[in-house]
Structure 1
Amino acid sequence: MPPLLDQSTPAQELAALIGPVDSLPAPRYAGLARRVRELVTAGQLPAGSRLPAERDLATALATSRVTIASAYRVLREEGWAQTRHGSGTVVDVPGSGGDGGAGWLPRVAPGLIDLAHAAPPAAPQLLPAYARALEQLPASVGGNGYAPHGLLELREAVAARFTARGLPTDPEQVVVTAGVGDATALALEQLLEPGDRVLVTHPTYAGSLRMVEAGHGRLVPVATDPASPDDLVAAAHAAARQSAPRLALLEPDFANPTGARLSAAGRRRLAATLWQQGVLTVVDEVSAELHLDGEALPPYAAGLPDAAVVTVGGLSKAVWGGMRIGWLRTDAALADRLGTAYARRQLSVGLLDQLAATLLVRDLDAVLAGRRAELRVQRDVLLSALAEQLPDWQVRPPAGGLSLWCTLPPGLSSAALAAAAAPRGLLLAEGRAFGTGHAFDDHQRLPYTRPADELREAVDVLAALSQGLRGGAGQTVVRARTVV
């Protein structure tokens, strides 16, 4: 694939990418704007890159400053650039919201196919649960409506679910939060000090990386291989000995984005080695019960001291992302500390949501049965469409979870693919969103959380774009500088 420009693009480097201005279509400013758009969609000029000052680029291209200013104006008007205070003019992608071309922030519009988010539509049990919760609500409206740590009935239901899965749990060990990400953020806020190292699988969920960075933690990436998930045990052991991380963030079951799943023996060995080395593990179980092939495996924390692990989970994948109900489970003393801190930040999660969630957790087996059946069909449709239209994409069928992690053929950039797909109504998350630096631009995550017809349509778009983007990969470009 072509090398990418560094985030601070010097004028000479961009001029080398653009080429001689005499070869651009007339009028020259419009041709220049068009050439910049081509560089963005080819992945050679990443969204978020700072464009050079008008005077500097004019000098590098041996053209007038008016030409550069007019080209920049066209790019801004068409959504391919924006002016940021203190940063000058930066590259953007129309409709990307300035998120690096990854389509990461959710958008809702007619005709859009959202494969940037592994988020299924609502389970059929959602509305009946809210209807029953509304019937129960009058019994609570005489109070203040707050439930610090979470509604007792919901904590009891979550604790019973853990216990049934092989991890004996009391309600005092559970704290209810506004979603799984909120539970993870709470744990990081309270347990991570600036400068602490955090072991993360690589690739991993983009939100986890951003939360560690926001807490000024230092990432310790450990490579994972979906073809051999248990290799993570030895790699994590070595990384923990060398780097002495304070925390580890793991997703043992159907990890996002790879779909990798640790075996029962693998998770026992990994849990033991991290605990022995004094690493507190935050385990994300949002996909733990979305096994599509095979059976459920014991929770990661089973057999460990309760204080060794903070397990986070919730209903966003099983039920609906719009239902912002999550939880964490750990030692009772640590749960009390985290719950108290959460209550200072947010007195309570909404009571109506908690009442509905209580009913759904109690009926979670039925909810999951329907969700698994739906995901199996959609996974197989997406795999079949890829095999038919994009046979040079390498895909390992996952045994569960929500998405495929595709290895792209040589010359195809995930950044370019995401940028080119957005104007076609297909939202994708760049492969780089799931790693550090420029890693994984040769991979593409494709969730199978949308209906079958949308998945087929998405593959139609990808097939139409793939060959054209690869065809432009042979241009001479300036190598990116290493960013530390």
Structure 2
Amino acid sequence: MTKPMPEPWPADRLVAQLGRWSAARGPLHLLLADRLRRLIDSGQLPPYAALPPDRVLAGLLAVGRSTVVAAYDHLRQEGKLERHQGRGTWVAPAVLSGLRPAAVTGSNPLFVNYLEPIEGVLSLACTAPAGVPPELTEAYQRAIARLPQVTGEGIGYHPLGHPELREGLAGRYTRRGVPTTPEQILVTTGGQQALSLISQLFLSPGDEVLVQTPTYPGALELFRAAAAVLRTAPAGVDGWAAALAGSRPRLAYLNPTHHNPTGHTLSALARRRIVETAAAQGLPLIDDTVLNGLSFEDGEPPDLAAFARPGAVLTVGSMTKTVWGGVRTGWIRAAEADIGQLARLKALHDLGSPVLEQLAAVELLPHLDDIAARRGKELRRRHDLTCSLLTDLLPGWEFEPVRGGQCLWVRLPAGDASAFAQLALRHGVSLLPGTALDAGGGSTDRLRIPFTAPTAELREGLHRAAEAWTAYRRTGDTAPAAVHALVV
């Protein structure tokens, strides 16, 4: 029987799978070996996956080559890896003890790896808001009191969403100039599930999806999971027109208000032109509005649906960013026919979102604007503090202040952001490199810096980042970007 040949495993994908491997205590080569062992045992690194050369991986992880060599040799002695001079290093053909390799990870596992907290590491990687507003506790108390009356003898399944919440959301859109009926609303378990359901309904393997570059990494992961081909376009109108020339995408995704990660907001005129350009090609648009309401100033442009014919835009909303990350209540506003198909997909997943949480959302709706306005004022204070700290502690880093949202898009003066983020972990701060948000493989010199954390954590986190940057520059190795270019 012919022995399979090792197949190259992309270095950038491996770095993403490794995640925050160096955040624990202990010798670096043992920490790296432990994380690689877990990836192998779970099937995320399948048999015969050829790992990057020592020097390439060392450059991307901002460690010495000896660290990678020692980690590889440690796993070779355990029988997890095979190494041969001149032929490289690959995963040994051992029996898998965990998950099937084809079903465990997308091409950018950074998205998941950066959600869980790690003891001793401050996170400047996740944009989830900190703190539970008092209205949330009160909303749950009222929802619990109403639960027996509202549910009666019912079984509690509402695949489309609880009627009260759907009616409340439809009324909210209508009052904002986008006439909507409850039949056009599907309640989802957060905005992420909303994007997931849309991907499943609209995309088949090989379909093209047009995305801004950079953009929200959770959306990119879903489109990759659907085996779609990602086409990128700058956020501006001209970039979209050029990207559509000679191309027929199946779907387009935008977050035009307080864009994640740049913070920019498209004007009403730009939105109208993008909608018109898409309509000329019959291209459905996803309008991700989860950051709506987080403006530092009064007023925001209308949703894309306000400029579109009925059914041309699928609007995704959520309470996650305005209220709290633990409120997993989201929704889709779309054509009634699409909502019906999306509801069938959702029913296959979970039969419907939790009723108690939906009733709490009903109680929150009248207060949502006030909560968002208060959150926006607090975010502005943290934004100004973050800008001041970056200017004082890291004067070579470039960024533009924003007028709303949750993050800054920061350019490093030298080096590779992914490699620096690896080193920053060893100084106790977690940072998200720009490559995680760029479907085109660019933004290697960028970091997304959120200002959602409490002020004390922002101060300490940026001080740790400054210490890490000093160490990174001291090594004189601020050119891993050249290594990165070899493997992307």
TM range, smaller chain: 0.7 to 0.9
The aligned runs of 1:5-404 (5 Å cut-off) are 8=10, 33=29, 51=51, 69-70=73-74, 104-121=113-130, 122-139=132-149, 140=151, 142-224=153-235, 232-404=236-408
- One-letter amino acid of the counterpart of residue 250, structure 2: R
CA contact under 8 A between 1:283 and 1:309: conserved in structure 2? yes
State the Cα deviation string for residues 347-391 of structure 1 (Å, max 9, x = none).
110000000011112221221122111111111111111111111
Matched, 1:453 2:456: yes
Deviation of residue 467 (structure 1)? 2.3
Deviation of residue 118 (structure 1)? 0.3
TM-score normalized with structure 2 length? 0.78
CA contact under 8 A between 1:102 and 1:430: conserved in structure 2? no
Residue from 426, 430, 433 that aligns with 2:429: 426
- One-letter amino acid of the counterpart of residue 125, structure 2: A
CA contact under 8 A between 2:185 and 2:332: conserved in structure 1? yes
Q: Distance in 1 between matches of 2:71 and 2:123?
A: 37
CA contact under 8 A between 2:208 and 2:230: conserved in structure 1? yes
Q: Distance in 1 between matches of 2:401 and 2:70?
A: 53
Secondary structure at 2:426's aligned position in 1? helix
Secondary structure at 2:253's aligned position in 1? strand
Deviation of residue 100 (structure 1)? 6.2
Question: For the structure 1 residues 295 and 468, does the alpha-carbon distance in structure 2 shift closer, same or farther, using more than 3 Å as the test?
Answer: same
Q: Greater relative contact order (Cα 8 A, min sep 6): structure 1 or 2?
A: 1
| Identity %, equivalent residues | 36
Q: Distance in 1 between matches of 2:298 and 2:142?
A: 34
TM-score normalized with structure 1 length? 0.79
Deviation of residue 124 (structure 1)? 2.4
Which runs of 5 or more residues in structure 2 are unaligned? 1-7, 12-25, 34-44, 58-64, 81-88, 97-106
State the match for 2:418 in structure 1: 415
Q: Distance in 1 between matches of 2:71 and 2:266?
A: 57
- One-letter amino acid of the counterpart of residue 193, structure 1: S
Q: Distance in 1 between matches of 2:356 and 2:110?
A: 36
Deviation of residue 111 (structure 1)? 4.4
Question: For the structure 1 residues 483 and 219, does the alpha-carbon distance in structure 2 shift closer, same or farther, using more than 3 Å as the test?
Answer: farther
Q: Distance in 2 between matches of 1:288 and 1:470?
A: 38
CA contact under 8 A between 2:295 and 2:373: conserved in structure 1? no
Secondary structure at 1:307's aligned position in 2? coil
Q: Distance in 2 between matches of 1:176 and 1:293?
A: 29
RMSD across aligned positions (CA): 3.5
Deviation of residue 110 (structure 1)? 4.9
Deviation of residue 114 (structure 1)? 1.9
Deviation of residue 470 (structure 1)? 2.4
Q: Distance in 1 between matches of 2:29 and 2:301?
A: 54
